[in-house]
Structure 1
Amino acid sequence: MGAGSSLPYRLRPNKAVDRELFLSMLMRLAPALSLEKHHYIGLGGPFLEDFRLVHARLGVARMTCIETEEEVHKRQLFNRPIASIECIHETLENYLDGHDFECPAIVWLDYTEPKAITEQIERFARTIGMVPMGSILRITLNANPESLGKPLPNDISVEVGDAASGDRALKPTVQEWRLARFKERVGQLFPSGLSPEGMTHKTYGSSILRVVKLAVEKEALNFRDRQVVWSLATHYKDGQAMVTAALVVCPADDNSIRDILDGWEFRSTPDAPHRLDMPALSTLERLTMESDDDARAKLAFSLPKSDMGEDPIDVFKKFYRIYPHFSRVEL
């Protein structure tokens, strides 16, 4: 478990929006798939907040939390919010390999370690053939391009706008250097046509999602009885940049789930993920943006942009209904 997973959600507003989108997706699919009968499997961190919400929103009773770190596992046993949550001290991979799926499942593979990203994506792809029809799979991956390493200053050339250093013809740029490292890391899953422009902080998440989609589609070719329906993909940053992708495993000849998702306002795919770049707002700023059609003029100042490059007002308008509100409560 990465250190970031221990941060409270009030310090991770984009993660909070991402979680609400996933819960919204599950609630939309719940009537058609009878999700209350599914087996929820995931990594809950020390507080198991996702497990509490899945149980509260959907009524899922059978839940299994996997944790490799012993001290975190002990905290889970202490903090367990619902008695039916089974807390297991094990790796998620070993648990899945040894588990016999008796019913459809909701499986969330939540990863933070970037160096093993190829194995993580391949594991996610293989799982589509392990689970029963009607199962939902979701993966979270580290999307920080700096995780590819840092070249020495003398090994790269520099470009600023239209100007370039004199060694441009002999040395790669930072993005070109990262692209070569990325190709080494993902091997045969490297997407055709991927360029150095896909190695920036703004674009690297989409490049990873292209690898995820390619791996899943290759794996799906091995199964004639099933298809995958992409339902949600996001790219966000709260300290560490992350991407997520979710899909539903459906019978090959059944398009009912696709029809349900097509009518959902937040449906997204690895080709066009939601970029969650929510601004930090005061209560007065939030209320103004919610109540005024021309909030940009009403505010009369510009909100800061992050290195993901999204317009903060446009992003807020898109997700204002699930923008997190935090307040202090004395217990």
Structure 2
Amino acid sequence: MSQGGSIAYHLRQNKAIERNLFVDLLGRVGRYVNISSYSYIGFGGPFLEDFKHLHSALRISKMISLEMDSNVFKRQLFNKPLSCISLRNESSGDFLNKFEFDSDDGSIVWFDYANTDITSQLTETQRLIEKLGHGDIFKITVNASPTALGEPNVRSETLAFRAKVLAGRLSSYGPAEITEDSVATKNYPKTLLAAIMSAAKHGLAGDPSLVVQPLAAFVYSDGQQMLTVTGILLHENEIQNFLEQSRLPFWSFFNPTCVVPTSISVPVLSTRERVHIESLLPEAGADDIQRALDYYTASTEKISKEEMGNFVNFYRMFPWYSRVVL
């Protein structure tokens, strides 16, 4: 929490897209249950942007922000945008020790971790799931950059070193064997995703009537590679009803197994470029746009096409930034 106190998340386009996808997802879950009656619990940061967004889009009016950094907490007191937000100067671990969740109205909990202590984050995920009930929604965001595992003295031994470090950090939540491939940059989010899902399932060990239904998983980078996963707890006999009412199987980004996360990596575009590209959508594909531009928007053709393909998928969720005079 405190490590993210100075990060302007509201200016980071990939995270902004992921946040918009989360709101879109909750709106679809709202076809199954009244989301506006839920409580939302998360890490507000100094500006409480997510809280404003969720209240505006979904009318959620019971909200709790957790912040353990006293200075960031003071900024929250000054910037608090809504009277319905309860600000708490405490860590997520202390909160879980004391708080009793309301089983009648439901909860949405987003632990958006800024630090790299994956061991405690997995433990907290398990503890969180132990406290949640039918219909409750959880979202976990963790750092998915393998550089967080450290560097060995010998450069050529980097992957082997990181695999050993990760095996110790994941403990019982990890796979039986963690290989060098497990900690490669492109595979590391998948490895962590499996560990988070394992921690969530550990949390249900005491209640066999509930299951974890994965909803979405994304990997994105705005400086650091991040992984985020969202799921809902349901009685097993309610899963089919939930899927039919929410119509999530028809949502392009629904990830019912959460084995491989969906990548969010869009190009950095000028306003003129974006307006031109969007004028070609939704009919045009990435190759059509690339030909129309006749240049690359990234360092290589391959990366440019990949990012443009993502833009085609996510352009409706892409934020607009502009100068405003107040």
TM-score by length of 2: 0.90
Task: Please give the per-residue CA displacement for 1:14-33, whole angstroms capped at 9, x wherever unaligned.
Answer: 11011011111111112321
Q: Does 1:218 align with 2:219?
A: no
Report deviation, 1:101.
Answer: 1.5
Q: Which residue of 2 aligns with 1:297?
A: 291
Residue in structure 2 matched with residue 244 of structure 1 by the alignment? 228
User: Is 1:186 paired with 2:187?
Assistant: no
Counterpart of 2:55 in structure 1 is 55
Deviation at 1:145? 0.5
Q: 1:197 to 1:2 in 2, by over 3 A?
A: farther
Deviation at 1:3, TM superposition (A): 4.7
Matched, 1:275 2:259: no
Q: Distance in 2 between matches of 1:280 and 1:6?
A: 22
Shift of 1:194: 4.2
- Larger mean Cα displacement after TM superposition, 47-56 or 285-294: 285-294
The answer to whether 1:95 aligns with 2:102 is no
2: distance between equivalents of 1:221 and 1:142? 26
Distance 2:145 2:137 in 1: 26
Deviations 1:168-202 (A, max 9, x none): xxxxx322221111112112222145431232222
Q: Which residue of structure 1 aligns with residue 317 of structure 2?
A: 322
2:30 partner SS: helix
Q: Give me the CA root mean square deviation.
A: 2.0
Q: Which residue is 1:160 aligned to?
A: none
Say whether residues 1:257 and 2:242 are aligned partners. yes
Contact 1:305 1:312 in 2 (8 A): no
> Using a 3 Å threshold, how does the CA distance of structure 1 residues 101 and 286 change in structure 2: closer, same or farther?
same
Moved more, 217-226 or 228-237: 217-226
| CA 1:57–1:330: 2 relative to 1, 3 Å | same
User: What amino acid sits opposite 2:158 in the alignment?
Assistant: V
Taking structure 1 as the reference length, the TM-score comes to 0.88
The 1:305–1:35 alpha-carbon spacing in structure 2 relative to 1, beyond 3 Å, is farther
Amino acid at match of 1:330: V
Alpha carbons of structure 1 residues 143 and 29: separation in structure 2 relative to 1, 3 Å: same
5+ residue gaps, structure 1, are 158-172
Residues 248, 178 of structure 1: alpha-carbon distance in 2 compared, 3 angstrom cutoff: same
Residue 65 of structure 1: how far off its partner (Å): 0.7
Choose 97-106 or 253-262, whichever is displaced more: 253-262
**What SS is found at the alignment partner of 2:52?**
helix
Deviation string, structure 1 residues 41-78 (Cα, Å, up to 9, x no partner): 11100111101111111111111111111111111111
Q: How many pairs are equivalent?
A: 312
Quick one: which amino acid aligns to residue 122 of structure 1? T
2:174 counterpart letter in structure 1: F
The one-letter code of the counterpart of 1:314 is: G
With over 3 angstroms needed to count, the CA separation of the structure-2 counterparts of 1:78 and 1:33, relative to structure 1, is: same
Between the aligned partners of 2:78 and 2:120, the Cα distance in structure 1 is 32
Q: Are the structure 2 counterparts of residues 10 and 304 from structure 1 closer, same or farther at C-alpha, using a change threshold of 3 Å?
A: farther
Taking only the aligned residue pairs, the percentage that are identical comes to 32
Partner in structure 2 of residue 122 of structure 1:
123
- Cα deviation code 1:200-237 (max 9, x no counterpart): 22221121111112222333343212111111111111
Residue correspondence of structure 1 range 163-178 to structure 2 within 5 A: 173-178=157-162
Task: Mark the CA change 1:263 to 1:125 in structure 2 (over 3 Å): closer, same or farther.
Answer: farther
SS of residue in 1 equivalent to 2:186: coil
C-alpha distance 75-130 of structure 1, shift in aligned 2 (>3 A) = same
Corresponding letter in the other structure for 2:141: T
Distance 1:187 1:48 in 2: 33
